[in-house]
Structure 1
Amino acid sequence: MQTTKPPQITLGIESSCDETGIAIYHSEQGLLAHQLYSQVELHAEYGGVVPELASRDHILRVLPLIEACLEEAQLGAQKITGIAYTAGPGLMGALLTGAAVARSLAFAWQVPAVGVHHMEGHLLAPMLEQTQPSFPFICLLVSGGHTMIIRVDGIGRYRLLGDTLDDAAGEAFDKTAKMMNLGYPGGPIVSNLALQGNTDRYKFPRPMVDRPGLDMSFSGLKTFALNTWHAAQKTDAPQDLPQTQADICRAFELAVAETLTIKCKRALEQEGLNRLVVAGGVSANREIRAQLDALMAKRKGETFYPRLEFCTDNGAMIAYAGAQRLAAGQHNGLDFSCQPRWALEDLEAI
Structure 2
Amino acid sequence: VARRLSLRKHPECHSMAGGKAIEHLAQTGNREVLTLRLPMQRYRNCDFSFSGLQNLVYNAIVQKEKEEGIFKQSDINGVFGHLYPGNPLSSYIFIGIQEGEILSCVKDIAAAVQHTVAVHIMQKTYRAMLFCIKNSILPSKNATLVVSGGVASNQYIRKSLQNLADANDFALLCPPPRLCTDNGVMIAWNGMERLCAGVGVLHSTDGIRYEPR
- Calculate the TM-score normalised by the size of structure 1: 0.40
The corresponding residue for 1:203 is 35
SS state at 1:178 partner: coil
CA contact (8 A) 2:6 2:102 kept: no
SS state at 1:179 partner: coil
The 1:319–1:181 alpha-carbon spacing in structure 2 relative to 1, beyond 3 Å, is closer
Q: How does 1:46-57 map to 2 (within 5 A)?
A: none
The corresponding residue for 1:298 is 167
CA contact (8 A) 1:229 1:245 kept: no
Separation (CA, whole Å) in 2 of partners of 1:267 and 1:234: 40
- Calculate the TM-score normalised by the size of structure 2: 0.64
The corresponding residue for 2:126 is 265
Does residue 223 in structure 1 map to residue 48 in structure 2?
no
Tell me the alpha carbon deviations over residues 71-104 of structure 1, each in whole angstroms, 9 at most, x when there is no partner.
xxxxxxxxxxxxxxxxxxxxxxxxxxxxxxxxxx
Task: Number of aligned residue pairs: give it.
Answer: 162
Q: Structure 1: any 5+ residue segments left out of the alignment?
A: 1-175, 344-350
Residue type of the alignment partner of 1:229: I
SS state at 1:302 partner: strand
Does residue 276 in structure 1 map to residue 145 in structure 2?
yes
CA contact (8 A) 1:280 1:312 kept: yes
Q: How does 1:1-350 map to 2 (within 5 A)?
A: 176-183=1-8, 185-236=17-68, 242-272=103-133, 273=138, 274-313=143-182, 322-323=192-193, 326-327=196-197, 329-330=198-199
Whose relative contact order is higher, 1 or 2, with alpha carbons under 8 Å and at least 6 apart?
1
The 1:200–1:319 alpha-carbon spacing in structure 2 relative to 1, beyond 3 Å, is closer
Matched-pair identity in %: 27
Separation (CA, whole Å) in 1 of partners of 2:64 and 2:186: 44
Q: In angstroms, what is the RMSD of aligned CA positions?
A: 3.2
SS state at 2:28 partner: coil
* Cα offset, 1:260, TM superposition: 0.5
SS state at 1:330 partner: coil
Separation (CA, whole Å) in 1 of partners of 2:4 and 2:204: 40
Higher strand fraction: Structure 1 or Structure 2? 1
The 1:240–1:201 alpha-carbon spacing in structure 2 relative to 1, beyond 3 Å, is farther
* Cα offset, 1:237, TM superposition: 8.0
The 1:319–1:235 alpha-carbon spacing in structure 2 relative to 1, beyond 3 Å, is closer
